[in-house]
Amino acid sequence: MSLSEFYEMFSSNRPDVQIPSLQRVKDTGHFNVFKRSGYCISNPSPYNRRDFYKISLVIGKGVLHYPDQRIEIDGTALVFNNTTVPYSWETTSEFQSGYFCLFTENFMRQRAEPLKDTILAKIQENPVFHIDKEQELFISRIFEKMIIEMASDYLYKCDLMRNYVSLLVHEALKARPVEVPVVKFTNASTRITSLFFDMLDQQFPIYSSDYVLQLRTANDFAERLSIHVNHLNHAVKEVTGKTTSEHISSRIANEAIALLKHTEWNIAEIGYSLGFEYPANFNTFFKRQTMVPPRSFREKKEIAALAQRKVYQRPAQESASN
């Protein structure tokens, strides 16, 4: 979903909202902030990947649908969504409140490093943070300040918005359980692994049954990266502890789960779009990855258990010091 598509959908439910000019998004980026009340509707939002980042203070009940999990929210939560993971939101209660802000990567970038190397990237593996009443009040004040400043003529309000976003990220990081420090690897291995995951993520989600997945094997990725497959396998194994093929298979399985859940394509079409010429091969692959045949999954005999289970999770990486 692009910014223009978002605002078209948004303004249809909020006629009081004026669609901003998006002509300079590529140059200066984009930022905006809104209250959630009046925007959330009973129908689920489209299941797709957005071209922008979004931070939401969700107050109410609903379900977040991701490729590899289903997260129920009943109360108050701080939710982070990025540009690589598709999702949809399903409202399950009439009462909905809170706030959300959205922004592009080039709006947040203050130095040469991409957004994936900033603190915002550190929370993407855990997108939902359940917060208490005290945190809710504090975070609500941050969003209210955003709304006030967006309406002001302050010359440096964009810098101020970046600081508010960073403050939200830090609040989430403080709420996250303390993690054991990860081992830093060599720059070469980390860089190759990061490039591999970027290429893997960019192939998804799949929007058309006519599309056929291009990169399906370790050799495919190695050729695209212009390195030997053994070099790629060694780097990925060193950084993540898993083989290249394991990551590829798990990611394809996750996309298969999402397509079975969120499309009406038949199983043969899903298998073909994921690179399986014959349905029998796709059935064997899916069952090996999930322990359930795709037809049984779609018939919801096992969907409740699988929806709560993560088949794939991109490992957290920490760049080595130069």
- Beta carbons of 50 and 69 less than 8 angstroms apart: no
Residue 317 domain-assigned?
Answer: no
CATH number at 65 reads: 2.60.120.10
The domain of 293 spans: 187-307
Shared domain check, 9 and 132: yes
Please list, in sequence order, all residues whose beta carbon lies within 8 angstroms of the beta carbon of residue 86, skipping any fewer than 6 positions away.
47, 48, 49, 66, 67, 204, 205, 258
Query: In this structure, are 47 and 109 located in the same domain?
Result: yes
Residue 219 burial by CB count (10 A; 0-12/13-18/19+): exposed, middle or buried?
middle
Same domain for 108 and 80? yes
**Domain of 203: which CATH number?**
1.10.10.60
- pTM of the predicted model as reported, rounded to 2 decimal places: 0.63
Same domain? For 83 and 170 the reply is yes
Q: What is the mean pLDDT of each run of 10 residues along the chain (322 residues)?
A: 83 74 81 80 71 92 83 91 84 90 82 51 72 92 95 90 91 67 61 89 83 92 93 91 93 88 89 93 93 87 50 50 40
Predicted local distance difference test score (pLDDT) of residue 119? 54
The set of residues, in sequence order, having a beta carbon less than 8 Å from that of 61 and lying 6+ positions away, is: 72, 73, 74, 75, 91, 92, 93, 95
pLDDT value, residue 56: 94
The answer to whether residue 215 sits within a structural domain is yes
Residues 155 and 191 in one domain: no
44 within domain boundaries: yes
Question: What pLDDT score does 42 carry?
Answer: 52
Alpha-carbon gap, residue 135 to 77, rounded angstroms? 10
**Domains contained in the chain, number:** 2
- Give the pLDDT confidence score for residue 41 in this predicted structure: 58
Give me the DSSP letters along 71-84: EEEEEEEEEEE-SS
* pLDDT given for residue 38 in this prediction: 60
